[in-house]
Amino acid sequence: MAVEIPRLPCTLPLPLSEDVLVELVDKTKDWALMHGAAMRSKSNFSKDSLNFAPFVLLPSAFPRKEFYKAVELQQILNELMHRVAHNREFLTKSLKETIQVDEFTGNLFKIYETVQDEGVIQPISLGLLRSDIMLETVCPTPGKNCPPNALYCCWKQVEINTIASGFGWLGPASALIQRFVLQELDHHEMLANLPENNALEGLCSGMLEAWKIYGDAKAAILFIIEDVTYNICDQRFHEFELRRLNPYVKVIRRTLTDMAERAKLGPDNELLIDDYVVSVVYFRAGYEPGHYHSQREWDARLLIERSQAIKSPSIHYHLAGSKKVQQALARPGAVEMFLGEASKIEAVKEIFTGLYSLDFDEFGDQAIQMALDAPERFVLKPQREGGGNNIYGKEIRDAILKMKDSRERTAWILMERINPPISTGYIVRPGGPKIPELVDLVSELGIFGVVIGDSTKIFSNRQVGHMLRTKISTANEGGVAAGLGALDSPYLI
């Protein structure tokens, strides 16, 4: 029986009249473009031009209490991830099977083991995290945690990103676009319900804090970038924000190939590239196999890891953010190993949805049977980042039947599909119609965290802001750059 998914209310009575829409959309596109809420076009690429990033015209209604609950949880998640990243036994055990069949994760793990065995040169890590969550409307225990017929049940975590957690700029920028729209519509009184969002400043302050800890005023902050950066505004605004916060810190951008060609270590393991000493490495690339064109890029990653520079993420943080580790953390008793207080443990476990390994044991076999019996209830995920890698619905069955008897299955995890509430709104896209269609939407909230520390101590732990991505309700994934998702921001109700 198909379940009716609950709907969130509209922030304004819809539809808007066509006359209002035509003018408003045209003006807001220009506003977005002229304020840097933009990207490079994939279909019509030129380094010299930008398209505005797709956006939702009006902010999406969001339950206020749940929003602040998610914000408050972030510090606990930061602490959890920091501890997980520093637990060699847990990482090794969790990834043991996967690294034998997934070459990419295997290569990351090799770097991890190499530096662990040699002795880690820079004990301090900079975590710039983003926990992605969705409201769940289907309650597994109706009446227990939420009232029967409640609009939504609770937050469920999609994943936590520990590398290249983007949208520190486009997150806050979304609210700026929608503020502009609300003002254009003479709804000034509504602005108070758009929560403050200082993600960009918060993330950049984290980088500057690490730069200060490194303690060389002349040393640069290095962004590791892809060969071609489509999400250029998001990245550049980080760079410009660093410049605004401290005009004296040099920021440089290099690819892993540049690093392979020209980077080296100094006498004290300083990371040197061209004429710079690097204090902090901020990875906006390196999270997918395509970023490593050859063994030389892998060697460059190892060189960076062996250096004295503070990395975001260091290799252990990168591994801690893998899907396999997320699944291992959802096992009974796992969170308890890392967090002492019962209230913290409870709060984290509440946002975990069902996550299952496909290992060759009775649990893996059970998960395989569950997926074959009801594939629409799940998402099948490999060890990849950046969107577009997961398998959904009926295709899960085909994929599982194909891999069920091979070792490859241990590189995947099975996750319960989250069913977020539906809202109604307009998505404005480059090249889209003059009058956008009113469509059904679902949202994914990302909360940013900054955590700095070493294996024994956490020096800084903050929640620093948020981003909201919204997609057509029938789309499986909502990557903004991929074309299905759009910038949005929460309107608290």
Kindly tell me the sign of the dihedral angle through the C-alpha atoms of 378, 109, 132, 439.
Answer: negative
Quote the CA–CA distance of 123 and 250 in Å, as a whole number.
23
Interior/surface letters 147-177, b for 16+ CB within 10 angstroms, e for the rest: eeeeebbbbbbbbbbbbbbbbbbbbbbbbbb
Nearest-approach distance from CB 24 to ligand ADP, in angstroms: 28
Cβ atoms of residues 256 and 286 within 8 Å = yes
Mask of contacts with ligand ADP, 388-407, x by CB under 6 A? -xx-----------------
On the CB side of 156, CA atoms within 13 Å amount to: 21
- State which of residues 80, 81, 91, 158 lies at the interface with ligand ADP (CB under 6 A): 158
Residue with Cβ nearer Mg ion (430 or 478): 478
3-state class (DSSP) for residue 255 = strand
- Tell me the window of 166-174, 260-268, 277-285, 385-393 that interacts with ligand ADP (CB under 6 A): 385-393
Nearest-approach distance from CB 477 to Mg ion, in angstroms: 8
Q: Which structure tokens are listed for 254?
A: 């290099």
387 part of the interface to ligand ADP, by CB under 6 A? yes
Residue with Cβ nearer Mg ion (234 or 258): 234
Cβ atoms of residues 133 and 444 within 8 Å = yes
Nearest-approach distance from CB 477 to ligand ADP, in angstroms: 4
Count of residues that interact with Mg ion, criterion CB under 5 A: 2
Q: Which residues share a beta bridge with 172? A: none
Quote the CA–CA distance of 109 and 87 in Å, as a whole number.
14
Residue with Cβ nearer ligand ADP (123 or 387): 387
478 part of the interface to ligand ADP, by CB under 6 A? yes
Nearest-approach distance from CB 475 to ligand ADP, in angstroms: 8
444 part of the interface to Mg ion, by CB under 5 A? no
Closest CA to 157 of 250, 43, 106, 81: 81
Footprint of ligand ADP on 193-232 (CB under 6 A): none
Residue with Cβ nearer ligand ADP (149 or 474): 474
- Tell me the window of 188-196, 271-279, 337-345, 412-420 that interacts with ligand ADP (CB under 6 A): 412-420
Q: Residue 462: in which H helix or E strand, if any?
A: strand 458-472
- Tell me the window of 64-72, 90-98, 159-167, 218-226 that interacts with Mg ion (CB under 5 A): 159-167
159 part of the interface to ligand ADP, by CB under 6 A? yes
